[in-house]
Amino acid sequence: MTSKKLMPRLATPSPDGWLSAKSAALYDYQVETLFLGSADAMRRTVLPFMAEWLAGRDVASTQLLDAATGTGRFLSFVKDNWPALRATAVDLSPFYLDRARQEALQRWVADGSVACVQGNVESLPQLASGSFDGCTCVYLFHELPGAARAAAVAEFSRLLRPGGRLFFVDSAQRGDGAFNNMPTGNDRALDGFPRFAHEPYYEDYTKSDLVSLFRRQGGFKLLATKVAWVTKVLVFEKMSDEERAASDAAAAQASDDEELSPDAAQFADAMRRAAADWEAAAAVASAAPPAPEDALTV
């Protein structure tokens, strides 16, 4: 993970840093304690969406990127279900990667079906463009400032093939309590979390528009969403270049319309429809066979 740390905040920082071997050794225990024994279940919320995706694929030839793998615990759940899946586990911390290799991912590293790569998900030049069919990103974005989120989305898009799936799991956001009939309780919990944990970017994350971010920075379209307690799942698909161009044009038009009054927006829409009708009529006329020279004009 790009900025993993101990939670809740310690009175004094670990002497060897939040990305250290000590942090990696304690991380899973700390997170499971923080979420009252539900951290693994929260991560696994995305697995049914992955099952639906993989049901129609040759799993053994499918390449998955696990971004910010941390100790590899989530990826181990994926591999338990699909042992033949080929995966690349990426993390910024070499100490977390060592922990993943030695513990959660040991047997799959040994058989060659999982590769571990040390790197920053904002830029992974060691990985080829379009080399992955799917990507998982689990509980990373709430740790990142906005610019880093945008860079990571762009890099995910570069690494995925057109039509590739991105499975995103992270904290619920403001307003998500409506999914669980907890409209006010959810927001109170989100507001309180940064007060006892070192989460400098959490509040900004909870207010960010993730769907727009993924569309704008990576050309991703949303396929599914789910909120379960304090966990949010988003499933995206990378659009083709043609789809992305059409999506960008539609977004630009929608932005233009938002600046118009309701009457002006309605008029602009009517003019666009009239122009489209005119173009269609012109195309039909140009395709019609020419009239004979001796034909009468009535």
Condensed to tens digits (0 to 9), the pLDDT of residues 115-151 reads 999 999 999 999 999 999 999 999 999 999 999 999 9
Domain ranges of the chain: 21-239, 246-282
Q: Chain-wide mean pLDDT for the chain?
A: 85
Question: Two tokens at 46?
Answer: 């995305």
Note the pTM of the prediction, 2 decimals. Answer: 0.80
User: What is the structure's pLDDT at 294?
Assistant: 44
DSSP 61: G
Q: What is the 3-state secondary structure (H, E, C) of 195-247?
A: HHCCCCCHHHHHHCCHHHHHHHHHCEEEEEEEEECCEEEEEEEECCHHHHHHH
156 has a pLDDT exceeding 90: yes
Rg (CA), the chain: 24
User: What is the structure's pLDDT at 279?
Assistant: 58
Taking the C-alpha atoms of residue 105 and residue 70, their distance in angstroms, rounded to an integer, is: 11
- Is CATH 3.40.50.2000 correct for 21-239? no
Q: Decide if 104 contacts 71 (C-beta within 8 A).
A: yes
Taking the C-alpha atoms of residue 42 and residue 169, their distance in angstroms, rounded to an integer, is: 8
Taking the C-alpha atoms of residue 51 and residue 270, their distance in angstroms, rounded to an integer, is: 44
Q: 3: closest CA among 122, 179, 104?
A: 122
Q: Decide if 261 contacts 248 (C-beta within 8 A).
A: no
3 has a pLDDT exceeding 60: no
